Each structure stands twice: as C-alpha cells, then as structure tokens.
C-alpha cells in the first residue's frame, strides 16, 4: 500500500470515536454545506449500511450536524452540535434506511432554505477520508481533499473549454476534472479539482460565461 501522508497511516486529528463514522461523517456534512453555499435551514439525513446501524453510538449524528455548522473534525463543539444547531436555527432529522448502497458508510443529505434545495450523497471511505458520489442526481467523484469548483451548465459545445480558459487566465491549475449529465443536451455538471484555493472573483467571472447557470466552490 502506498501512503501519501502520515495522516493516511494514523488518521486525522478528530473528535472520536471513529475516523470512518465520526471524522468522515463531519467532513460529509461540511462539504455538503460548502456545496449548498451557506448553512441550510433544514436537512433530512438518510443513513445507509453501518451508518444506519450505529450512528448514535459512534457519533455519526452529531458529526454530520457539526459539519453542517462548519465545524472541522477536531472541533470540540461537535460534541454539542445538536444544541448548537438549535441555537443556529438548523432543523434536522435522521432517517435510517434499509436499502443497500454500494458502500456501507453512506449518507444522503437533502437540505434547503427559503431559496433552494440540494441533495448531496457522500461516503466515508476510512481514515477520515470521504467521497461525494452524487449532487442533485448527478453522479460524480469528489474527494473534498482539494479545492474544487462545481459548475452547473447547459449541455452545449464550448462550455468546458470556456471554463478551462478562464481558469488558465487566472493561473489556476486543474488537478482533476469530470463532467456528468443526466440526459444529453439538457443540464450538465462540471467538477474541477484545482491546486489553489479559489477566489470569489474567479467564481463570478465563470458565472458570466454563456450557458453557465450556477457556480459553487469548496476550499480545502
């Protein structure tokens, strides 16, 4: 096995008890918040596999809510996340599911506020690492380990090239990129992991490109 970091061996700095069920869960919640662009007012949290079976005992529940409040894995406030969520006006509900998913540590968050709703599905793959596998029905693979830009756009020729050119003009290097679409010719989702944290002005410039409908970011 090849390790890229000492943290791949010993795991992340975190509030316990489990890197998969607690730290990974917190990161799923925090990345979901980043994708939504703000703290939601309400969230329904569907849990699958071992998440559904042990979420209370392993702290998966408080970890996901803590992530939605923008707490990192080592933030002591994760322990009191339910009370903090009440103070912040975040309503939450946990729904254990019996259906099988490809990975046993899977959570799907349906969240929203007065303006919009979003669905995010994530898996905890061990050692505190995660993958976001679906956003609003679009299949993808997003690790949350690098800054990333998500671009919703019309499925038209030139959109990908125009976004890549915009990044190049800002000297932003692309580390990984993929495009997902539910149906040909309609709406597509571009996921771009980059080497630098993303400036808000860059997102604004991308949003002005023709046929771009929504832009969001995740800074590492």
Q: What pLDDT sits at residue 220?
A: 67
206, two tokens: 């991308």
Q: What pLDDT sits at residue 19?
A: 56
- Residue 219: how many CB atoms within 10 A of its CB? 11
Domain match, 129 and 188 both: no
Contact of 52 with 13, CB cutoff 8 Å: no
Specify the number of domains making up the chain: 2
58 pLDDT band, cuts 50/70/90, is confident
Q: At 186, which CATH number?
A: 3.30.70.260
Q: What pLDDT sits at residue 129?
A: 87
10 pLDDT band, cuts 50/70/90, is very low
Question: Does 3 map to a domain?
Answer: no
Q: For every residue of 22-49, which 3-state class applies, written as one string?
A: HHHHHHHHHHHHHHHCCCCCEEEEEEEC
Residue with tokens 């703000």: 38
Report the candidate in 99, 86, 83 with the shortest Cα–Cα distance to residue 47.
99
Question: Does 131 map to a domain?
Answer: yes
39, two tokens: 């703290």
* pLDDT tens-digit readout, 22-35: 889 999 999 999 99
Q: Give percent of the chain with pLDDT exceeding 90.
A: 65
Mean of pLDDT over the chain = 88
Domain match, 21 and 129 both: yes
Q: What pLDDT sits at residue 95?
A: 97
Q: At 78, which CATH number?
A: 3.30.1330.90
- The partner residues of 139 in beta bridges, in order of sequence, read 134
Contact of 51 with 121, CB cutoff 8 Å: no
From residue 186, how far is each of 77, 116, 155, 200 by CA, in Å?
42, 20, 5, 27
Q: What pLDDT sits at residue 128?
A: 81
Question: Does 143 map to a domain?
Answer: no
What value does the mean pLDDT take over residues 38-48? 96
* pLDDT tens-digit readout, 148-192: 999 999 999 999 999 999 999 999 999 999 999 888 889 999 999
Q: Quick check: helix, strand or coil at residue 139?
A: strand
Beta strands in 27-137, from DSSP E residues, in sequence order: 42-48, 91-96, 106-112, 117-126, 129-135
What residue numbers bound the domain in which 174 lies? 148-218
* pLDDT tens-digit readout, 61-79: 999 999 999 999 889 999 9
Q: What pLDDT sits at residue 63?
A: 95
């Amino acid at each position: 096995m090849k390790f890229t970091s000492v943290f791949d061996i010993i795991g992340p700095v975190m509030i316990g008890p489990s890197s998969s069920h607690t730290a990974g869960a917190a990161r799923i919640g925090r990345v979901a918040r980043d994708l939504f662009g703000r703290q939601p007012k309400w969230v329904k949290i569907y849990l699958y596999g071992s998440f559904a079976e042990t979420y209370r005992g392993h702290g998966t529940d408080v970890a996901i809510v803590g992530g939605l409040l923008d707490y990192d894995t080592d933030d002591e406030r994760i322990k009191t996340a339910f009370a903090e969520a009440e103070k912040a006006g975040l309503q939450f509900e946990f729904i254990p599911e019996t259906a099988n998913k490809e990975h046993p540590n899977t959570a799907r968050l349906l969240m929203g506020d007065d303006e919009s709703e979003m669905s995010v599905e994530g898996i905890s793959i061990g050692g505190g690492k995660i993958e976001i596998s679906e956003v609003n029905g679009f299949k993808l693979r997003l690790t949350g380990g690098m800054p990333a830009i998500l671009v919703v756009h019309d499925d038209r020729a030139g959109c990908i090239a125009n976004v890549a050119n915009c990044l190049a003009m800002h000297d932003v290097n692309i580390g990984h990129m993929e495009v997902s679409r539910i149906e040909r010719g309609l709406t597509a989702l571009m996921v771009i992991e980059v080497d630098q944290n993303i400036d808000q002005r860059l997102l604004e410039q991308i949003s002005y490109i023709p046929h771009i409908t929504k832009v969001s970011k995740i800074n590492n």
